[in-house]
Structure 1
């Protein structure tokens, strides 16, 4: 087929129209004309063709003031369905959506994750429950994406750095689930999925390179270069928890760090933050509670010390990647807000040459589940419509290759 042939041009225009409808939701014909740059007759022919192929359909009307009502067009969401899951030790949060992104059902359930638990069986039961609630069967699902607190090696299918969900360790997770359920299942690091959602709906929509740092009960990170997640050879890209860094705190917290330095995660996870707060005279049960208390105290010094710790870990990433933006997320980061982010930026700029801005992630609600849904939809849309969104694709296991060394476990 020659470049520029009528068939190729139709395919290009069709994909452009589908992308516009997926991005903006139902559109009138005139709105679609503007979005894809086609003439009125060409757009009408395109919509007729896509309607005949059941790719798009009429989706109600929009009032036009005193004039006639305009027909709305939308992608046929029933062409494929996906499931996204946020898997934590406390709760599994499921959502079912059609390929247009319309949510059909949600389900939250506590699943056993301890060593020896039937994690595959109980996960399958929960998946069947939420799928049935959406009026579907498992066979109707195009794919399932799971976000988990750990590092996933796409070459081996193994999770690591996840002692909190011990039952999910030691086996090829996507292969086992895919075989048992008869559906394509992928698994992704939770902070990577938060980065996906931030690229889709948050402050990183128009940023090519950024680093995300998760500060909560535990610590995690994600690195995006050229709007692609940097997963690394073994899935360890962004696993900043394991970095060895010095402790720049100005008070004695009673911790005895090894000569090589403390693990970054042991400096800024919730227990570490509460110990640091206690050394400054603040008693709190969680790191974010300590930050909230400190915000109302004059010149306590705790937030400065915490900012120094966070900046000390981020500095290595900034020195290597020189990103356009650092985004802090997680409960501790949200408690600190933009004022704490500015404090981190000040401490960071004393350590590295780039003057990278630091902010707080803007996505609300369950960003892990939302990012998993974006990833699942991207894969389904590529398969159904040929619409490719490389940034949002879930981790697909590379064909062949020699497995690299696995990440360490606790």
Structure 2
């Protein structure tokens, strides 16, 4: 073996051990040995080395059984922390987590409607408040990932396709925030982050190509090709809100049959109006769908009309992309369940050649913030541990995503001895 090979092998084994501990949580030496395929002495030496370097710490003992309790090991969460932000016209929802993914704090607050300076200052204060709750220095965050409506132009850094965020337009958003906060900031489309979350914990875990349609207070979509997000030349890939489509619903609600913005056609107010035309009164699109589903056969006409509207909008995307799967996400779309997704699929197959299945997204809760958190963790783990994502990893595309600004110069992190190597 050439000189330097033992060190290279140690680095590879170290990263394999860190990766196993991050994926599975605290493990005993024997459990880690089984995960990474090393001998008992080699695994023991590896753990000693990583503990000395501060990369792993002891995490109590594994109880149970008749034998002696075994020492547990885990990644040192204090090595780095990240922030995930869901930015909406109403304000920000922030989560702070350590590098293991342990949630340290949450913070939600409204932002002012003033100019750029006031909004940015309030954002900085909100992030500092969240970090304070977590016991973290806001200037010491390893990564900040923000999910926002619209898309960031990769050339200018400007946020576009976001008419509801006027105060965030006209300047380099990721660059300005990176300079202001003195930490690396990435701004990603909110629905793109939902798609990333779907690849992590939803139906798209093993899907290479899919389209996610988000129908809630707003409308959006994400296109994933070979497990990489398609962002487009100006960051606007998937912005289907402004597509003009005809209304194929049987019920007449006064919509121009020659063509209307898809975002207007599927807005919660339009869905409520369509439900009313079929005899269902509701305050939101999601409530209307749930009422129609609960009504059984009496609700089918409304559900079919809405399925026609969705299928008409999705047809163009499916015809061009020919994905393996279409996922319906968002409060309104998910309220119909799998039976409604099947209705959308049936209507879609009347309009396009591909027999693409349509399913309901499994991701619920706070999917934008969750996606931002997974993205931030992937970026931080690459910086700290050299854990470069494989080609099939959904977060590899976020290594240098559209709109990401160069990070500020910062001192080496404690675990940088686990250096990245070419794969």
Normalising by structure 1, we get a TM-score of 0.92
The structural deviation recorded for 1:249 is: 1.2
Structure 2 partner of 1:310 = 310
Distance 1:113 1:174, change over 3 A: farther
Q: Does 1:377 align with 2:377?
A: yes
The structural deviation recorded for 1:320 is: 2.1
Distance 1:317 1:22, change over 3 A: same
Distance 1:4 1:265, change over 3 A: farther
Distance 1:302 1:352, change over 3 A: same
User: Moved runs in structure 1, 4+ residues, more than 6 A?
Assistant: none
How do residues 5-404 of structure 1 correspond to structure 2 at under 5 angstroms? 5-113=5-113, 118-256=118-256, 259=258, 261-297=259-295, 298-300=297-299, 301-389=301-389, 391-392=394-395, 393=398, 395-397=401-403
Structure 1 partner of 2:416 = none
Structure 2's unaligned 5+ residue stretches are 407-423
Structure 1's unaligned 5+ residue stretches are 401-410
Deviations 1:163-207 (A, max 9, x none): 222111111111111111211111111111111111111221222
The structural deviation recorded for 1:113 is: 4.1
The structural deviation recorded for 1:77 is: 1.3
Distance 1:397 1:330, change over 3 A: closer
Contact 2:240 2:263 in 1 (8 A): yes
The structural deviation recorded for 1:337 is: 1.2
Distance 1:224 1:113, change over 3 A: farther
Normalising by structure 2, we get a TM-score of 0.89
Structure 1 partner of 2:417 = none
How far, CA to CA, are the matches of 2:189 and 2:321 in structure 1? 20
How far, CA to CA, are the matches of 2:216 and 2:381 in structure 1? 33
Contact 1:114 1:165 in 2 (8 A): no
The root-mean-square deviation of aligned C-alpha atoms, in Å, is 2.1
Distance 1:350 1:4, change over 3 A: farther
The structural deviation recorded for 1:125 is: 0.7
How far, CA to CA, are the matches of 1:190 and 1:5 in structure 2? 43
Range with greater deviation from structure 2 (217-226 or 201-210)? 201-210
1:129 is paired with a residue whose SS is helix
Deviations 1:182-241 (A, max 9, x none): 111111111111111111112212222111110011101111111111111111111122
